[in-house]
Amino acid sequence: MKLRVREWGTGTRHALLVHGLFSDSHTWHRLGPALADRGYHVLAPDLRGHGESPRGRYSPFDWAMDLVDTLPKHADLAIGHSLGGLVLGMSAELLAPRTAVYLDPAWRLEAATADEFSKIWYSWLEWTDMGELKARLGTSWPEIDIRLRWESMWRADPAVIPGLVPGGAYDYSPERAGMPSLVLASDPSDFITPDHAEDLRARGLTVDVFTGRGHSAFREDFDEFLRRLDVWLAALPNRP
């Protein structure tokens, strides 16, 4: 499926940005321009069932293959958050970016945790006021990110929930890095637990912890996130 893609910049290098569940390409309203200023042509799709992209059958495989159908291969940089990190990891060998950055990716859940998240996500759809979302997120999210998240939640198809958590445990973790790969985990993380982090390191991924920040650390502390991203990119051989 071809996805709707938001773009920033006209640079010769490409950066791919993949959002999480109930979000859309507006997620990257700061990162997109920041990367464009660094010389990238930034491509940020709305995943199937989100934003302005088509609706259809939902599963991690479908979301991953949509990325392959839509985005260019051999991009200089690819970043995915949560669900976006999950499906970017699944499609990374086919997309073959020069480097991949995964923001608290939802690669693995135990059955009880998956069921708990399903109930929580469905409960969000009962909210009638943005204040309920703000109360859930706490005070660390900027107001504009809360508003964009509220708006994107209502643009999304509720059927994306069972598409991600149809019931039972799952594990879509990469078997190997394939390219220089950085995982930025929240503190604590429901997805990148300490034992999972060790598994990922053994598979060749670099795992770093965003101490004191939640699942959307790049929203909560954008300046620190961007600093860490710049440090990662600067340390790579043949910097993208």
pLDDT exceeds 70 at position 91: yes
Contacts of range 221-230, beta carbons closer than 8 Å, 24 or more positions apart: 221/140, 222/30, 222/31, 225/184, 226/31, 226/34, 228/184, 229/79, 229/101
Residues 6+ apart with CB under 8 A from 220: 140, 141, 213, 214
- Measure Cα distances from 213 to 37, 46, 99, 131, 230 in Å: 26, 25, 24, 21, 19
Can you give the pLDDT at residue 63?
A: 98
Sheet hosting strand 13-18, strand order edge to edge: 5-8, 40-45, 13-18, 77-81, 100-103, 181-185, 206-209
pLDDT digits (tens, 9 = 90+) for 34-48: 999 999 999 999 999
Could you tell me the pLDDT band of residue 240, with boundaries at 50, 70 and 90? low
Residues 6+ apart with CB under 8 A from 180: 98, 99, 100, 206, 236
Can you give the pLDDT at residue 239?
A: 66
pLDDT exceeds 80 at position 138: no
**Average pLDDT score over residue span 58-77:** 98
Instruction: Kindly report the average pLDDT of the chain as a whole number.
Output: 96
pLDDT digits (tens, 9 = 90+) for 150-209: 999 999 999 999 999 999 999 999 999 999 999 999 998 999 999 999 999 999 999 999
pLDDT exceeds 80 at position 238: no
pTM: predicted TM-score of the whole model, two decimal places: 0.97
